[in-house]
Structure 1
């Protein structure tokens, strides 16, 4: 079958078994890698039409709050996110940091940073236990980042994975075992589809200074390693830079415009694509995650390849075959209305301004995605009140919150982060009833904050741009026959008026018999008239009174 006919068969939804057998037989003069890993047979085929029959499982809808260890060798320098890219960008903060700490990237590249990463203080069981005590109902671990190092015992990235290089540990395996011990659904985040263009900076050389024109290490090959610590290893298996630069590659910002594999990006080769496919199927089969987070627009490598659709079909079919029902979740970014039927929409560092018809997720972080010592030094982490306000707002709009707690290179978290996590846990223990297993109400809320909500840009990024929440901001959620109305600050005058619940309200025509403060279980005095439901708060504040759920029945 030639490639044109193969793609035609995909468009009409070739059954999964036949699809897998056809793909495994496909090869051409371009030396495309064989489709080694096969798709499990089942109701889903690797087409958008077939995958649009997906239904989000109830465990994800009930969980509401997950925690993430976005941790790998880029945390070792403790200099922040995208270190493996920006250390090759002359003149930037991370480039200057790298020169001072490690030396010039022609002599000490990211492969060498990996070699310094030992993860000597990593205790996955202790960290997952902490996160569960803070109220997390699922846990996610980084499986690979754009730096392309697999953080697991990878069959297809066999030389450049964390069991062979750096930490010399099965990172995903350790996290998975800890999640299982604590009975938490386990998720993995997969980012490596973009290494192809993201790491093109490693092909550069300085334009100024004494080493101007000396190439960085991005084009090194196996033969260049003789006598070095990486003797016998091929850096191209990691860097994937044996290809032509994309258009505008010298523009450091061009990568953002090319994230959808358009706007002049050099098309990824077949070997690269099929290796990513095989690596991800191997990850799924070996560690059995309940959820995959793809740091991609839609499925990875779409629309230049159907590899992501094949991965999704396999993942969904595997869940059905092994668990008797579809229990798997995949998240992706920048999805149109049709694509959101095939996977859950993820918003990075931002949130929707409306109740979404389908479950979705926000991902955000206490600091930077990879650990940044400067944020610790200036005490710049998000506070527990900020995280709880975000969670309450997201839940009111049919979403979940995934929170990353940055992990240091040695595998530990710092004392400031631990204190924030523990404070989140205090609020969740007192008020979790208003969060877990709830569903959105007829409206998500009222108050001035929603009138100044900034629009989403790209994959999100409207976080912190609106009006801060205050005592007049209310967020709603329902569970069984109870309505939860969370007042986003303790009212200064001792009472709050909820206009959406006024007498005769079309939203709540039923009689209100009881209002309780969830944190303490106290019955509160209230009055209902044509202006609203006025609730009188007690004289004594409960702990963590920066968000105060009321249970109305």
Structure 2
């Protein structure tokens, strides 16, 4: 067994302080003797709250200063990659990154059309039960009133408390509120800002990744230390010039330069302040397991703190949900497993979540111009499939730099709303049935890759693809297409078969009036559908037994 495997195994069994690779932090004070402690063993007490299991559907505003150029995801990294699309766009729009860096993009960002109350009212109408906003991204800019990070949205850019505005609007609509936290990775993610062009008239001139406070004399950012934002006062990681290396170093291995203790404690303090000030019920960490694990225990301390404070606020019930990626089976007991842009292919024993986006994570104008967004049908089909497997779906609606969503996105959200208003009964508060479904799509389902990424790789859903869930004594069967024959056969409900042992009393089609005619035989439950379909997306049958 090599050292890396040994440490991973130890990580599941031992408190963090025992691990030779973990730099334990200074800040920890448990609230009570029986409270959660910052160890994997202690976090394994966690139980996913019922509100999250019932909610099923959330919407997300993955919005920050990288949306200002409207040129797609990871702009703050890509603009420093010579020859890349974002680099070329940046040079043309703003100037060379040695003269106009990402800090200057922040200064361009004003969020002048941001109206959180209007957007959250729309998202509630669309059926979201929880809402998540970006608190910071890998660009390290805090979107809240942060006393530990001077580079934040109350001082620079929009000069607004964006998390505070989102939180107030979400709570007004009665939605559970969440934040997504990505800033643990700035240390290595922004190493591209330490580069220089290899070709051209400015070859060898460093980008602005290592500028200091002194360099800001007489400039708009005078008095601000760019290193508090870029965090690049450290040697480059191994193979840093390889743009793909960041993915192989995401778990703080494979030659990444270890983050300093000061960097880790600053991240810890920022995150604790975020949790205490805005009291989110959901935190999404864009990390392998928890932030900075296994090189520092900051993520463990944050998780324990969130669970303890939630328990304290809710009269002894822990209502908190922490979402993490690429979890071991043991770690899935400590938080909720999140799959990015993908779905599990089976009913998971523990609640989980898929997160995806209508377009790119950061707004990309080209997707609008090319009509490239996911349709309302794609979103609903994903939701129905995920819910049948004990999961939730969190969907990001890309927000423009100015704080608005575009007309195509609005139409998609309205389409989701129309379906959810008629069919939400088959989604909310349901639990998996004995099997998740039937049909040809499941036979061609693609396997997960890393943190997910099997979205759209399988066979498209059709009328023979059925997904099942239960609510009490009611069984819901949702067909992901409308059969041309006008008759739907649910093979898994065959009389005398292994799955359905009841006697069917009544069948209804949500969104359509009256009861449906049916025949229950050893071939399955054959349902005669109405002449006109109630929508163009998916069709939920409500099946009641004697």
TM-score greater than 0.5 by the shorter chain: yes
Superposition map of 1:82-481 within 5 A = 82-157=74-149, 159-324=150-315, 325-481=317-473
Q: Output the CA distance in 2 between the equivalents of 1:483 and 1:251.
A: 52
Deviation string, structure 1 residues 418-470 (Cα, Å, up to 9, x no partner): 00000100000000000000000000000000000000001000000000000
Q: Deviations over 1:359-410 (max 9, x none)?
A: 0000000000010000000010000000000000000000000000000000
Which residue of 2 is the match for residue 4 of structure 1?
none
- Compute the displacement of 1:320 (Å): 0.8
Structure 1 residue 11 displacement after superposition: 7.8
Q: Residue 290 and residue 83 in structure 1: after superposition, are their counterparts in 2 closer, same or farther (change >3 A)? A: same
String of CA shifts for 1:476-529, please: whole Å, max 9, x gaps: 000011000001111111011111001102211111111110122431111111
Residues 134-177 of structure 1, C-alpha deviation per residue, up to 9 Å, x if partnerless? 000000000000000000000110x2000001010000000000
Report the Cα offset of residue 247 of structure 1: 0.3
Q: TM-score, normalised by structure 2?
A: 0.95
Write the deviation string for residues 330-364 of structure 1: whole angstroms up to 9, x where unpaired: 00000010000000000000000000000000000
Shift of 1:33: 12
What is the alpha-carbon distance in structure 2 between the residues aligned to residue 318 and residue 539 of structure 1?
A: 54
In the alignment, structure 2 segments of 5+ residues that lack a partner are: 1-9, 18-22
Q: Match of 1:505?
A: 497
Tell me how far 1:109 sits from its aligned partner. 0.2
* Contact 2:70–2:364, Cα closer than 8 Å, also in 1: yes
User: Residue in 2 aligned with 1:529?
Assistant: 521
User: How far off is 1:546 after superposition?
Assistant: 2.0
Question: 2:29 & 2:217 partners in 1: Cα distance?
Answer: 37
2:540 to 522, 526, 549: 549
- 1:537: Cα distance to partner? 0.4
Shift in CA distance, 37/552, structure 1 to aligned 2, threshold 3 Å:
same
- The CA distance in 2 between the partners of 1:339 and 1:12, in whole Å, is 12
When residues 369 and 149 of structure 1 are mapped into structure 2, their CA distance, relative to the original with a 3 A threshold, is same
Aligned equivalents of 1:322 and 1:422: distance in 2? 35
SS in 2 for 1:345: strand
What SS class does the counterpart of residue 286 from structure 2 fall into?
A: strand
Give CA deviations for 1:186-231 in whole Å, capped at 9, x if unaligned: 0000000000000000000000101000000000011111111111
Quote the offset at 1:545 in angstroms.
Answer: 3.2
RMSD (Å) for aligned C-alpha atoms: 1.6
Query: Relative to 1, partners in 2 of residues 1:87 and 1:167: Cα closer, same or farther, differing over 3 Å?
Result: same
Q: Give yes or no for contact 2:30–2:37 (8 Å, CA) kept in 1.
A: no
SS at match of 2:475: strand
Residues in 2 aligned to 1:524 and 1:34: alpha-carbon distance in whole angstroms: 63
Count residues with an aligned counterpart: 528
How does the TM-score come out when normalised to structure 1? 0.94
